[in-house]
Amino acid sequence: MTRVWRRVLDRELPVAVHAEGAWIETADGSRYLDGAGGAIVVNVGHGDGALLEAMRTQAERVQYVHGTMFTTAALETYAEEVADLLPIDQARIYPVSGGSEAVETALKMARAYHLARADDDRSVVLARETSYHGNTLGALDASGKLPLRAPYAPWLGRAVHVPAAYPYRVPMSGKQHADATERAIEEIGASRVAAFIAEPVAGATLGAAVPDDDYWPAVVEVCNRHGVLVIADEVMTGFGRTGRWFGVDHWGVRPDLLTAGKGSTSGYVPFGFAAASGQVFETIASAGGFVHGFTWSHNGLGAAVGSAVIARLRDGLLDRCVVLGERLRKELDAAIGEDPNVGEIRGLGLMIGIELVADRRSKRPFARADHVTERVVAAARDQGLLVYSSTGHVDGTDGDLVMLGPPFCMTDEDVATLAERTAIAVRSTT
Ligand code: PLP
């Protein structure tokens, strides 16, 4: 009996006692290869000395001060450093405690921006089907992940969803996506749309689906033309995960707003931020400011770790992500690329998705009752491998996806182990 309301209620959870590099050890002496960095979070790796030192140093200086009363050197330094890396002009960052808060903050920034320009009718959020932006109500409303929305449907319904950028099952060109986005904007009424939010590369909900190269430039052009702010949700793709600093860097587009979380501190401290362009910031600031705030926002500890993460990525880990990503893809392709139940292996950098199907030619998904994803995850766990997963993406019920997103500090041997155990898990259950 436990007093913890655990995330998982149908099985006992092992007790994690130590983590180092790409491995997690449990109280019973087992070792798990962290093939997904938890939920694609631990970019740098576990037990990194530089990150731990940054935490210790900042915790000894200042533990907590309120964002309306103080700033800290750690936060000011971090903002300077990250602003130089962000694909945003004259960026300003608003630090929060995680991805959902970052998304809520960015949505409110978009609304505040339009209000500041006396464009009061702009409130509608445009998002994509089969997307994920968080579990708080505003972020969930933007999310197109049906199984997560279903229980809370009475509280949702303001956001409008356009097709997912998912070439495997949604064969639309960038131009067709842009046209669909424009049609949605016109149907809602261009003067009512506040923002378009999307993941640069789809996260777990679509297993690292990568849009075609003409997608982002075309969609951003339509949004710009209609005065709709573009929010790049980089909570999963940010901080090197796709082999570039940020996902949109692959296509050279510059959003108005951007959200970050997960990899920003590699999971060492709950942290994230919403970033706005200088123009968005100045507009809101000059009209009286931003009505928003959280007790834990503007946290110096998260900022200090964030600076250490940037230093580690600069120090070779970002390059290592590219090299290891290519190697892992090659090994997976060789091992299970032709497996009759592997529909597609996709992704960028060390953000890799494996879509499992009952029939490769027709792309027919397994029936949900077969619990294929759950069996693959369990088979991986039995071999000491942790993977991330998602179900229901095809129609809200069926659809099986497994995701890999390991730490960038993996050794060559870890990569081989990861590919080998993933292949065994996939083969053993399909
Ligand atoms: N946005 C994206 C793209 C995500 O992948 C996630 C989490 O998986 C979130 C937002 C929500 O982040 P958090 O779980 O930190 O609230």
Q: What are the pLDDT digits (tens) for 76-127? A: 999 999 999 999 999 999 999 999 999 999 999 999 999 999 999 999 999 9
User: Is 19:386 a contact under the CB 8 Å cutoff?
Assistant: no
- Which atom of ligand 1 is least distant from the CA of 233? 3
Kindly give the distance from the C-alpha atom of residue 103 to the centroid of ligand 1, in angstroms, as a whole number: 8
Give pLDDT, residue 430. Answer: 61
In short, whether 208's Cβ falls inside 6 Å of ligand 1 is no
In short, whether 104's Cβ falls inside 6 Å of ligand 1 is no
Kindly give the distance from the C-alpha atom of residue 236 to the centroid of ligand 1, in angstroms, as a whole number: 7
- Which atom of ligand 1 is least distant from the CA of 203? 5
Q: In this structure, are strands 385-386 and 351-356 parallel, antiparallel, or unpaired?
A: unpaired
In short, whether 129's Cβ falls inside 6 Å of ligand 1 is no
Q: What is the pTM of this model?
A: 0.98
Kindly give the distance from the C-alpha atom of residue 99 to the centroid of ligand 1, in angstroms, as a whole number: 4
Distance CA 235, CA 134 (A): 10
In short, whether 55's Cβ falls inside 6 Å of ligand 1 is no
Distance CA 146, CA 148 (A): 5
Give pLDDT, residue 1. Answer: 87
Kindly give the distance from the C-alpha atom of residue 96 to the centroid of ligand 1, in angstroms, as a whole number: 13
User: Is 280:109 a contact under the CB 8 Å cutoff?
Assistant: yes
In short, whether 263's Cβ falls inside 6 Å of ligand 1 is no
Mean pLDDT of 26-45: 98
Give pLDDT, residue 429. Answer: 76
Residue 21, pLDDT above cutoff 90: yes
Please state the separation of Cα 282 from the chain's center in Å: 27
Six-digit token string for 346: 């996709």
Distance CA 306, CA 270 (A): 11
Kindly give the distance from the C-alpha atom of residue 134 to the centroid of ligand 1, in angstroms, as a whole number: 5
Kindly give the distance from the C-alpha atom of residue 361 to the centroid of ligand 1, in angstroms, as a whole number: 32
Mean pLDDT of 23-31: 98
Distance CA 260, CA 271 (A): 8
Residue 413, pLDDT above cutoff 90: yes
Please write the tens of the pLDDT for every residue from 265-280. Answer: 999 999 999 999 999 9
Mean pLDDT of 304-330: 98
Kindly give the distance from the C-alpha atom of residue 386 to the centroid of ligand 1, in angstroms, as a whole number: 19
In short, whether 235's Cβ falls inside 6 Å of ligand 1 is yes
Please write the tens of the pLDDT for every residue from 334-343. Answer: 999 999 999 9
In short, whether 103's Cβ falls inside 6 Å of ligand 1 is yes
- Which atom of ligand 1 is least distant from the CA of 205? 5
- Which atom of ligand 1 is least distant from the CA of 136? 16
Give pLDDT, residue 329. Answer: 98
Distance CA 241, CA 380 (A): 22
Please write the tens of the pLDDT for every residue from 41-87. Answer: 999 999 999 999 999 999 999 999 999 999 999 999 999 999 999 99
Residue 181, pLDDT above cutoff 70: yes
Q: How many residues does the chain have?
A: 430
Question: ∠304-309-311 over CA atoms, to 5°?
Answer: 100
DSSP bridge partners of 352: 347, 404
